[in-house]
């Protein structure tokens, strides 16, 4: 895709490599001497079951009551208490929130339940626009991701996009151990198709690349892919022509063992 070249906002960072080792994998960050270490060994990954046999006969559904499930009822009760607490501490918050939103950040993160963007950044509702999927990917042919980016940049005027990976990512774990995608495969699932680019990225890395290397490489690749999108390219061209503020794209990584988010220092902006 042609367009405005992009430049790193900081010094260029390189993927940390780890020598082959029989020891437990530890997380390696790029371009930093103070490297947080993952203290947990990844134990879960994502299964890629063959779902084709389930597609033949659809199972009928029936109406049920969410209230019959105690855990869900507890969630609704907690929501009521939360809304009452917010209203008490900040009268008018929800009335103002209902009028519109002006988030400053688009978060492109993993769907993993341990990385809830507003919670981990300590932000209120209305501050972060969100797109989350398996392993925080951005594909040019993904209408959902592109529509979110278009709306966030074009309509809401976000100033920053943060691509956020995390340690022990199940999507990266699955991709790390997967063979090269079979281009001639006749059957595939949505999950396996979505992971294909991540599996190809894994096979573009050295054979001894660790899962943590793949997690960092995936964030950096996604930052580049977002910068190459039509939406960001159009934003940068408009910024150059009109002098408006361009959107900047950043790469972060959350360490599940500490709760801390690390800036991978691979931020990009337009080169003008
Ligand atoms: Zn993940």
135 Cα to the center of ligand 1, angstroms: 4
> What count of Cα atoms within 13 Å lies in the side-chain half-sphere of residue 125?
13
How many angstroms separate the CA atoms of 90 and 195, rounded? Answer: 43
215 Cα to the center of ligand 1, angstroms: 9
Give the residue numbers marked as catalytic.
110, 112, 114, 166, 169
- 242, 108 Cβ separation under 8 angstroms: no
161 Cα to the center of ligand 1, angstroms: 18
Topology of domain 101-263, CATH: Beta-carbonic Anhydrase; Chain A (3.40.1050)
Q: Does residue 228 have a pLDDT over 60?
A: yes
Residue 150, helix vs strand vs coil: helix
76 Cα to the center of ligand 1, angstroms: 26
What pLDDT digit, counting tens, does each position of 11-66 carry?
Answer: 333 333 333 333 333 333 333 333 344 444 445 666 666 666 666 678 899 999 99
Q: Which of 233, 232, 173, 230 is nearest to 42 (CA)?
A: 173
CB atoms within 10 A of CB 113: 6
pTM recorded for the entire structure = 0.82
Q: Where are the domains of the chain?
A: 1-6+60-100, 101-263
Mean predicted confidence (pLDDT) in 107-132: 98
Residue 187's pLDDT band, with cuts at 50, 70 and 90, is confident
237 Cα to the center of ligand 1, angstroms: 33
- 159, 245 Cβ separation under 8 angstroms: yes
When mean pLDDT is compared across 34-48, 61-75, 173-187, the lowest value belongs to 34-48
Q: Does residue 212 have a pLDDT over 60?
A: yes
């Amino acid at each position: 895709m042609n367009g405005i070249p992009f430049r790193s906002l900081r010094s260029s960072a390189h993927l940390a490599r780890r020598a082959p080792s029989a020891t437990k994998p530890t997380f390696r960050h790029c371009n930093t001497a103070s490297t947080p270490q993952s203290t947990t060994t990844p134990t879960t990954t994502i299964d890629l079951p063959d779902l084709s046999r389930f597609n033949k006969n659809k199972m009928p559904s029936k109406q049920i009551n969410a209230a019959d499930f105690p855990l869900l009822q507890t969630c609704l009760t907690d929501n009521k208490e939360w809304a009452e607490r917010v209203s008490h501490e900040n009268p008018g918050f929800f009335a103002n929130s209902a009028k519109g939103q002006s988030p400053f950040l688009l978060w492109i993160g993993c769907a993993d339940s341990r990385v809830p963007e507003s919670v981990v950044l300590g932000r209120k509702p209305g501050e972060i626009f969100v797109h989350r999927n398996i392993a925080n990917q951005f594909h040019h042919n993904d209408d959902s991701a592109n529509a979110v980016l278009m709306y966030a940049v074009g309509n809401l005027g976000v100033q920053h996009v943060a691509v956020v990976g995390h340690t022990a990512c199940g999507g990266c774990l699955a991709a790390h151990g997967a063979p090269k995608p079979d281009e001639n495969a006749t059957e595939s699932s949505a999950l396996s198709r979505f992971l294909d680019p991540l599996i190809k990225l894994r096979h573009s890395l050295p054979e001894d690349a660790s899962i943590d290397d793949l997690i960092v490489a995936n964030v950096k690749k996604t930052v580049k892919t977002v910068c190459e999108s039509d939406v960001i390219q159009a934003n940068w061209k408009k910024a150059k022509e009109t002098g408006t503020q361009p959107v900047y794209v950043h790469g972060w990584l959350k360490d599940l063992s500490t709760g801390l988010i690390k800036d991978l220092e691979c931020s990009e902006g337009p080169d003008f």
